[in-house]
Structure 1
Amino acid sequence: MSERPRLLPILGQTGHSGRSAMTCQFRCGNACDHPVPNESDNPYFGDVVKAEVTRRGVVRAGAVGALVLGFAGAAATQAAPALAAPGDAAPDLDALTYSRPSGALTFKPIPPNRLDTFVVPNGYDHSVVIRWGDEVVPGAPDFDLDNQTAAAQSKQFGYNNDFLAVLPLDKHGERALLVVNHEYTNENLMFPGFTTLDALSVEQLKVAIAAHGLSVVELERAGRTGEWVPVRKGSRRYNRRLTALATKFDFTGPAAGSAWLKTAADPRGTTAIGTLNNCAGGVTPWGTTLHGEENFNQYFVGGDGAPAADKPKLARYGISTTVRYTADSRKWDRADERFDLTKHPNEANRFGWIVELDPFDPDSRPRKHTALGRFKHEGANVIVAKSGHVVAYMGDDERFDYLYKFVSDKKFMKGNSWVARKHNLTLLESGTLYVAKLDYTSAAEIDGTGKLPTDGAFNGTGRWIKLVQGNKSYVDGMTAADVLTFTRLAGDAVGATKMDRPEDVEPSLLTGKVYVALTNNTNRGVGTNPKADEANPRNANKHGHILELVEDKGENAAETFTWSVPIVCGDPTDASTYFAGYDKTKVSPISCPDNVAFDGAGNLWISTDGNALGSNDGLFATAIEGPERGHLKQFLTVPFGAETCGPFITTDNRSVFVAVQHPGEITGASVENPASTWPDGDYAKPGVVVTWRLDGKSVGS
């Protein structure tokens, strides 16, 4: 008999938006409780105008209705290439395009809920692909909750999975590589008997360090369905764990070898150990994956003992320069002194980059590309411009921080030859880095309530301000290495536009238009903080919004653009919400957009993080062209306390992958007293889930 879904109470206080206080502590080091790092006086818009119920625990829409608590009613990421054959380690770029199903989203939206299970629409099913502690490297020991070791975790699936990509391994669509970020750990929910971080053993701290990083896992299709499972037989030569504990990463670009990256362990400044807080990411046209290092600041202590000249730079990145430990310090310095900035003041500069991984070459060393700048990267998503240059869009996930764009010096080389592949692997090593400056049409009418101006839209124009090109800086008083290592300070200096936590930034491969998830900013218009403006139209913005950029003449390498806000999130019955003018009585409520993706029909899929409407986070979809533009529909929800990460729609449009991050991460929860028992009925485990249509047709449409 299937287990009945449980309705669970909130255990303790929530943090900002819908996050629990526990999530705020472990995911971002209580960033919203600290002073806004951007204290620059560069103009903002207000100034400018003056100047499980089934066998898998699935609950379908029809079964949820009685349990609702009364809430009001890429081509995706650059398309994943297929390989010639397993073991060839060279993508076949001929399979880069998605199939093109009908654009209509036909699924019946599911209602908001607070169930401790994974909910999908009628006509769909789902399964857990892999969870924390499962084998990744062949021969990894079975997971032992009570006897965890760093050596074992270095071979097992890491904690709190975020970005994921699914890259085909054969022309028949039967095998694929799953690439996953492991963003952060929550030791409260990892170790039985947890009391404090100070009480953890050094070995347990090393387990947590090893649980960060990336996983590469070979998958195979289950029958002829949209379900995928890990390969359990054969060599699994691509399976790989990259950790924050021991994996080496090479630096590329103008800042590599600069004084800012040199340490006692690496006096050349060219090789880093580990990658931290990998949030979102992207897939390149040449078959590699990109991974954004985000809230790296929380892992470092001793900023009070750093050189005085470094302190303003550290503070701009959220590192305390007044005390050795803050209340949210990880205490990793007890396991590895490189996390002590008093002893190693440059170590923090070695994080905050975009990492490129070649999952088809298991012997390759991943690279941190300094040409793309250093900040709290949510991720990076790439498109080939009409000019042939590669363009990467990026957001800095902090209140009042900026949007960025990178344009490569070299052009993308088409074809499957090794010459082309070798060339394309260098595209992110040199180019031009820009930051966005937005102007607007109706600034005087913006009052912070979300009310539309008289022209019927939040819109305007913008330009990309050049920060650095190759080795030449365009910021007074800063070298190219300075600009790229302290990119936030460069953005401050040129007057970039302060945004409401720009997270995922992704271009549609069908239209070239770019979509930005602005998650929230409860500090907007509060106290002395910048007030609402036309691109961030609500004060105390707890639900977030979506921004759409259209590069001039459809050229993604252009230096000017127009912009609009097609979606202002929240309860559709709230007057401050907007869904591209669509009938709001037919729209699903949505709060805190985080990641975006596209299906083969060009529909926009949005995952949420920290739903401030009181229900579980989920995945939503809407058309962005035609009469259905703005008709947002909720496709799934994740279990209680979890965040929806990913998402990824496979190139055949038959499967939707999401990462269920931090299930049961509710204040007061522990291994012994879990707030969620997903997915196995005992204690909470982050994991990756695949959803597919039972009739085998394209998901969504």
Structure 2
Amino acid sequence: MSETTGRTFPLLPMLGHTKGKRSAVTCALKCDNACSGDVCNTSANGYFRDIASTAMSRRAALGLGAAGALAVVLGGAVTGGDAAVADSGNGLSDAAKKGFDKSKLKFTAIKPVDAAVDAFTVPEGFDWKPIIRWGDPLFADSPAFDLNAQTAAAQARQFGYNNDYTDILPIPGSKDRRAVLFTNHEYTNENIMLPEGFDPAEARAIGRAGHGLAVVELERKNKNKPWSYVQGAPLNRRFLTDTVYELTGPAAGTNLVKTIDDPAGRWIKGTLGNCAGGTTPWGTILSGEENFNGYFAAPGTSDGDKRYGITSKATTRQWELDEPRFDTRNSGYANETNRFGWIVEVDPFDPTSTPKKHSAMGRFKHEGANVIVSPSGRVVAYMGDDERFDYLYKFVSKGKYQAGDSKEARKNNMNLLSEGDLYVAKFTGDSPADIDGTGKLPADGAFDGTGEWLPLVVNGTSAVPGMTVPEVLVYTRLAADKVGPTKMDRCEDVEPNPRTGKVYVACTNNTDRGKPGKEGATEVNPRTLNRDGHVVEITEGREQTGTKFNWNLLLVAGDPSKNTSAYFSGFPADKVSPISCPDNVAFDSVGNLWISTDGAPGTIGYADGLFKVTLEGPERGKVEQFLAVPRDAETCGPIIHDEERTVFVSVQHPGEDGSFAAQNSFFPDYVPAGATPAAGAARAPRPSVVQVFRK
């Protein structure tokens, strides 16, 4: 970083190597240029033709424990609390019989929007409004946002940058008029946040304060009115890089996580690179620590460093200049990187609570975690490791969920993720001879097969030869390599459908598949040089704690007018919205799948957006685009309140490729048509949580 300009990313290895309008700046800041480096998974595992390899979901069935008794809630829509049961294969599931087309959220799909357009586009008859933006003041004493007078102290009291996972939970007793919003703040882009010549140390401090998590109270006049956030509300909270988290589970207190600052190995400062997440049945929020590797200067020589992409190259942000713990070469900090890469749990209804990091759920680049309760009462969480050729995981709790609002139930449920079994997925295709890497449909008419959850930790014992339980949990990638799971094309969000019990895995892309020395196509990852990604549908049956499953591909994404391998479960390809790079998923109250995308500008040339997908019946596989986000932006954290005809998304990194002096976007504070900005007024894009509603 230049000490005169305050720039924090002088090196852009992906510049000239990204496709279409994909930003090399995003690659540098979000994932430390992962695609420009070596693949982290160099294990021999899987390098052959085809690897033999009560449901509640994110925002599902929220019994908010001590927060107060609530109706069972799915994405804000009141539903029944019965356990969902997957279709047995004998005709349509109960959800389909009741009608996936019965959602109150009716719309006409928008046309694809060119990636260069700086606009937030919604269907005819709808409008949009930001709920909260980067820099908005959260507390009674927070300063108003001033683009030209930013400080780290101010940012720590304001809404953070690049909001990703988002959820909105009703506050008990508020009669639909108050709620609490949670979001995480994945990373910052000081190049468009701060002017040239900004003090470098203060710029780094502002960047640190822009990371973390936020809890914000919302209010509205009634359920037909948009939400607004409440400055100074009692539940408002920021989680910063010095916020203390409790490490739980078998790795806590071991020598693998101790540092000079924390000789007990149980108390960790901060959370980094948070991406997607999930909401638990007991009303807490889970957030996944993903691309933490780029924040650390390190030797980069150990097997652990290499497998997690931790290198000796200069860091982009250079926080090690301010805090020695970000340089693991410093005495006493060798284990600091081992303290990141976990699932974080936050209680949004208790502003005095200590957030947790759960070692029992494994350490990798977590996209998120989505929790269900099996009919046996054990909690099951699904998790994707967002890296090329990495794996899909499942956690099953030792303890059982207790319904109700008692202190006993609350205490029990708050510890469910601290102890349990950890598995990794192996997929077997039933048509391996038909998979040639082009995405051509097998002769049997489907990409499908069976699968197995391979044990890593079971009944408190390591199932990986030569590794202890703490070693398996701290070095989960290395442990998984040893048992032979299936290498995936960046499995990101993984969520069970609360209406059918089926699990959906968004595989964003993998342009390295099939390159020399890299694994070729498999039936569950059927395309080489996979730019557009695909969606896997998993059926486990009623008891999700088992180790066997069936699977098929719901979508093989792409623009069917340009890519003949695009597949939509047999639905006519000329009647769908083009879709590429599926990232986050959500469900509406009747079980339709909604997909937000990240990377479409670089693959099909259109802006990223949010898409509805019908899952069953004659229109299974029908994709309809609901909205498109502005120039350079990504669509994150979708929430579907179809009963109220309202949708929420987090808009991340708008205008990413600009500079402070020449911005690429002015979202969301656009100047009305015919008006001009005030003379000399500085303007910048502001990542925001947006609500879309009927006019």
Q: TM-score, normalised by structure 1?
A: 0.88
CA distance in 1: counterparts of 2:574 and 2:19, whole angstroms: 28
CA distance in 2: counterparts of 1:340 and 1:12, whole angstroms: 27
Q: TM-score, normalised by structure 2?
A: 0.89
- Please name the residue that 2:550 is paired with: 562
Report the CA distance between 1:91 and its aligned residue: 3.6
- Please name the residue that 2:91 is paired with: none
Alignment of 1:45-444 (within 5 A): 46=49, 48=51, 77-79=58-60, 81=62, 90-97=67-74, 98-99=77-78, 103-104=100-101, 106-114=106-114, 115-171=117-173, 172-193=175-196, 201-232=200-231, 236-244=233-241, 246-304=242-300, 311-320=302-311, 323=312, 325-326=313-314, 329-343=316-330, 344-444=333-433
Paired residues of 2:536 and 2:554 also in contact (CA < 8 A): yes
- What is the DSSP-based 3-state SS (H/G/I as helix, E as strand, rest coil) of the residue aligned with 1:578? coil
Paired residues of 2:422 and 2:457 also in contact (CA < 8 A): yes
Letter of the 1:425 partner, please give it.
Answer: M
Stretch of structure 1 that moved more, 611-620 or 222-231? 222-231
- What is the DSSP-based 3-state SS (H/G/I as helix, E as strand, rest coil) of the residue aligned with 2:477? helix
Gaps of 5+ in 2: 1-13, 80-97, 671-682
CA distance in 1: counterparts of 2:410 and 2:20, whole angstroms: 44
CA distance in 2: counterparts of 1:18 and 1:387, whole angstroms: 48
Paired residues of 2:342 and 2:363 also in contact (CA < 8 A): yes
CA distance in 2: counterparts of 1:339 and 1:357, whole angstroms: 24
CA distance in 1: counterparts of 2:475 and 2:645, whole angstroms: 42
- What is the DSSP-based 3-state SS (H/G/I as helix, E as strand, rest coil) of the residue aligned with 1:483? helix
CA distance in 1: counterparts of 2:20 and 2:303, whole angstroms: 29
Does structure 1 residue 660 correspond to structure 2 residue 651? Answer: yes
Letter of the 1:295 partner, please give it.
Answer: N
Paired residues of 1:76 and 1:649 also in contact (CA < 8 A): no
CA distance in 2: counterparts of 1:222 and 1:112, whole angstroms: 34
Report the CA distance between 1:371 and its aligned residue: 0.4
The superposition leaves residues 306-343 of structure 1 with CA deviations (integer Å, 9 ceiling, x where unpaired) of xx6xx1111100011xx3x34x5321101111000101
The superposition leaves residues 618-676 of structure 1 with CA deviations (integer Å, 9 ceiling, x where unpaired) of 0000111222211110000001110000111248453211000000112xx11110011
- What is the DSSP-based 3-state SS (H/G/I as helix, E as strand, rest coil) of the residue aligned with 1:313? helix
Report the CA distance between 1:83 and its aligned residue: 6.6
- Please name the residue that 1:39 is paired with: 42
CA distance in 1: counterparts of 2:421 and 2:514, whole angstroms: 33
CA distance in 2: counterparts of 1:445 and 1:80, whole angstroms: 41
Letter of the 2:208 partner, please give it.
Answer: I
Aligned residues: 638
Report the CA distance between 1:184 and its aligned residue: 0.6
Paired residues of 1:17 and 1:610 also in contact (CA < 8 A): no
Paired residues of 2:369 and 2:494 also in contact (CA < 8 A): yes
- Please name the residue that 2:639 is paired with: 648
- What is the DSSP-based 3-state SS (H/G/I as helix, E as strand, rest coil) of the residue aligned with 2:277? strand
Does structure 1 residue 454 correspond to structure 2 residue 443? Answer: yes
Instruction: Identify if the C-alpha distance between structure 1 residues 241 and 20 changes in structure 2 by more than 3 Å, giving closer, same or farther.
Output: same
Paired residues of 1:303 and 1:342 also in contact (CA < 8 A): yes
CA distance in 1: counterparts of 2:369 and 2:290, whole angstroms: 11
Letter of the 1:558 partner, please give it.
Answer: G
Which residue of 604, 617, 628 maps to 1:613? 604
Report the CA distance between 1:693 and its aligned residue: 2.1
- Please name the residue that 2:675 is paired with: none
Gaps of 5+ in 1: 1-10, 52-73, 695-701
CA distance in 1: counterparts of 2:306 and 2:221, whole angstroms: 50
Superposed CA RMSD: 2.0
Report the CA distance between 1:614 and its aligned residue: 0.6
Paired residues of 1:76 and 1:599 also in contact (CA < 8 A): no
CA distance in 1: counterparts of 2:544 and 2:648, whole angstroms: 28
Instruction: Identify if the C-alpha distance between structure 1 residues 478 and 12 changes in structure 2 by more than 3 Å, giving closer, same or farther.
Output: closer
Report the CA distance between 1:496 and its aligned residue: 1.0
Instruction: Identify if the C-alpha distance between structure 1 residues 505 and 17 changes in structure 2 by more than 3 Å, giving closer, same or farther.
Output: farther
Report the CA distance between 1:469 and its aligned residue: 2.6
- Please name the residue that 2:455 is paired with: 466
Paired residues of 1:76 and 1:648 also in contact (CA < 8 A): no
- What is the DSSP-based 3-state SS (H/G/I as helix, E as strand, rest coil) of the residue aligned with 1:259? coil
CA distance in 1: counterparts of 2:62 and 2:45, whole angstroms: 42
Paired residues of 1:118 and 1:636 also in contact (CA < 8 A): yes
- Please name the residue that 2:7 is paired with: none
Which residue of 524, 535, 560 maps to 1:572? 560
Alignment of 1:475-490 (within 5 A): 475-490=464-479
- Please name the residue that 2:11 is paired with: none
The superposition leaves residues 161-207 of structure 1 with CA deviations (integer Å, 9 ceiling, x where unpaired) of 1000100013421110000010011111111116xxxx852222111
The superposition leaves residues 92-136 of structure 1 with CA deviations (integer Å, 9 ceiling, x where unpaired) of 243335346963263111011132111110121110011110012
CA distance in 2: counterparts of 1:260 and 1:146, whole angstroms: 44
CA distance in 2: counterparts of 1:14 and 1:143, whole angstroms: 36
Paired residues of 1:299 and 1:339 also in contact (CA < 8 A): yes
CA distance in 2: counterparts of 1:439 and 1:243, whole angstroms: 43
Report the CA distance between 1:81 and its aligned residue: 3.7
